[in-house]
Amino acid sequence: MEYFQPIEKPLVLLGCAYLSWKMIRHIWGVLKTFEKEPVTVLVTGQIGYALVPMIARGAMLGGDQPVIIHMLDVASESLNAVKMELIDSAFPLLRGVVATTDVSEACQGVNIAIMAGGIPRREGMERKDVMSKNVSIYKSQASALQQHAAPDCKVLVVANPANTNALILREFAPAISEKNITCLTRLDHNRALAQISEKLDIHVSEVKNVIIWGNHSSTQYPDASHATVKIERGEKRVSELFADDDKWLQTDFITTVQQRGAEIIKARKQSSALSAASAICDHIRDWVLGTPKGTWVSMGVYSDGSYGIPPGLMYSFPVTCKNGEWSIVEGLKIDAFSREKMDASARELIEEKVLANSCLY
């Protein structure tokens, strides 16, 4: 027996290595079995250059969610360039890229649609001219989503006038639930958080529960009356921290948030693509994965009459999200100052709706 002892140890080690390899292969196979199915995300418009890398990195849907990105725009050469850059970036979560100028191909099987393409208002253009062009675009894209998107597709409208464009899309995509069509006011929400954090010289993560009411326009109402700030022993209302400067919350705070986009265009000569892309990721992430406990966010959603806002408008409310669905936060006290601002934005949305209908029929 002593003659065989020198080879016993290597054989045992070899056997252990083989068993370990078999076990690793089995575990890997199990993990592959449980890998999430890719989510197909459509991005329209030129904001995609800032947005699609964030999606591919997991900023929108999480670090374990594979994605397929569809991009739609009128400029095929720039789209193909973005596609090449996405491929060259070797994002681990990216499972495929479609770059197309064909709206039907772009909408095929999409689970999430981010509608950022549209005609902006330029110097010399009348409001009705802009509305007429966007009505045509959103009528066409709504029809394509209706026919080709996944049945439970979630839609986020970004292009201005975002609230009314979302309303048009809902009109021509009746198969998509009204609960699955929203518009972006998260950028304004984030701007409001940032303004308070800068004014108080604290980190933005310590501020929560501002509200953007109404239209994504100069009539929007950034409301800090329910916002709170994290302190050492809990939370404190923002209004209490501004007791010595309470006018700021009703003057400069509101106008700064309302006019921030215009200020960036003036300084950059282009719109705020970076912060908009980040806000889009925030909006979809919270919608799909849920809002943190005790926190609400602002989303443009279809009004059900809450807070006295006429039903049938796409209006920004405070919402919480759970299991892929949003719910309007109920029971907040509305003072006279807020009531006036909220109603003014609703009146503008009614005017926009009438104007859009005049372009439709």
- Rounded to two decimals, the pTM is 0.88
**Percent with pLDDT over 90 in the chain:** 72
Residue 33, pLDDT score: 43
Residue 164, pLDDT score: 93
Binding residues: 73, 121, 127, 134, 158-160, 191
pLDDT at 3 over 90: no
Q: How many CB atoms lie within 10 A of CB 233?
A: 6
pLDDT at 284 over 70: yes
pLDDT digits (tens, 9 = 90+) for 213-246: 999 999 999 999 999 999 888 899 999 998 877 7
Q: Can you tell me the mean pLDDT for 178-193?
A: 98
pLDDT at 107 over 50: yes
Residue 1, pLDDT score: 47
Residues identified as active-site: 216
Residue 88, pLDDT score: 97
Handedness of CA 165, 171, 177, 179 (dihedral sign): positive
pLDDT digits (tens, 9 = 90+) for 295-321: 999 999 999 999 999 999 999 999 999
pLDDT digits (tens, 9 = 90+) for 113-167: 999 988 776 666 666 777 888 888 899 999 999 999 999 999 999 998 999 999 9
Average pLDDT, the chain: 90
pLDDT at 11 over 70: no
Q: Which residue has the higher pLDDT, 9 or 309?
A: 309
Binding residues for NAD(+): 73, 134, 158-160
Binding residues for substrate: 121, 127, 160, 191
Tell me the CA distances in angstroms from 340 to 241, 255, 306, 346, one per residue in order: 24, 15, 15, 10
Long-range CB contact pairs, 288-295, < 8 A, 24+: 288/61, 288/112, 288/154, 288/321, 288/324, 289/61, 289/62, 289/321, 290/321, 290/322, 290/323, 291/319, 291/320, 291/321, 291/322, 294/208, 295/208, 295/209, 295/320
pLDDT digits (tens, 9 = 90+) for 18-60: 666 666 665 555 444 467 999 999 999 878 889 999 999 999 9
Residue 166, pLDDT score: 95
Q: Which of 97-101, 253-257, 262-266, 296-300 has the lowest mean pLDDT?
A: 262-266
**55 three-class SS:** helix
Q: Can you tell me the mean pLDDT for 179-204?
A: 97
Residue 271, pLDDT score: 82
